[in-house]
Amino acid sequence: LAKTTQPISMDSYEGQEVNITCSHNNIATNDYITWYQQFPSQGPRFIIQGYKTKVTNEVASLFIPADRKSSTLSLPRVSLSDTAVYYCLVGSNNNDMRFGAGTRLTVKP
C-alpha cells in the first residue's frame, strides 16, 4: 500500500491560489492519485483523480510529474468555504487506498 505524506496544515487568504503537495514515493504502476475534501461533521467529498500529467475539473487541478512520486492539488482563488481537510489517497483499488492525516487548510478573509 502506497504511503502518502502531506503538510499537516496550511493557511491562505481569500482569492489566492492554494497548492497542496502530496508525496507518494512508493506509488505502484497501477495506482491512481485521488483527492478528497472533508468539512467538519460531514463525509469526505471527491475532488479530483489522476494518473499522470495534469487533470483539471471545475473545482481543482491536479499536477502529477513524470515520476509520479508526488502530486499537487491546486485550488484556484480559494474562498472561506474552502476551509476543510484535504486528503490525498493513492491506490489501484478503493479498498487499498488509505486516508492519511490530511492537510487542514484554513482560508482567512
C-alpha span between 109 and 17 (Å, rounded)? 14
Q: How far is the CB of 58 from another protein (least distance, A)?
A: 15
User: Rule CB under 8 A: which of 52-81 touch another protein?
Assistant: none
∠ CA 5-46-9, nearest 5°, is 35
Q: How far is the CB of 42 from another protein (least distance, A)?
A: 6
Q: Decide if residue 43 touches another protein (CB under 8 A).
A: yes
Q: Report how far apart the first and last C-alpha atoms of the chain are (Å, whole number).
A: 39
Instruction: Give me the half-sphere count of Cα atoms (radius 13 Å) on the Cβ side of residue 44.
Output: 17
Q: How far is the CB of 15 from another protein (least distance, A)?
A: 28
**Cross-sheet strand order for the sheet of 45-50:** 9-13, 103-108, 84-91, 32-38, 45-50
Q: Which of 34, 70, 71, 103 binds another protein (CB under 8 A)?
A: 34
- Number of residues in contact with another protein, rule: CB under 8 A? 25
Residue type, 99: F
User: Rule CB under 8 A: which of 77-106 touch another protein?
Assistant: 87, 91-95, 97-102
Residues binding another protein (CB under 8 A): 30-32, 34, 36, 41-46, 49, 51, 87, 91-95, 97-102
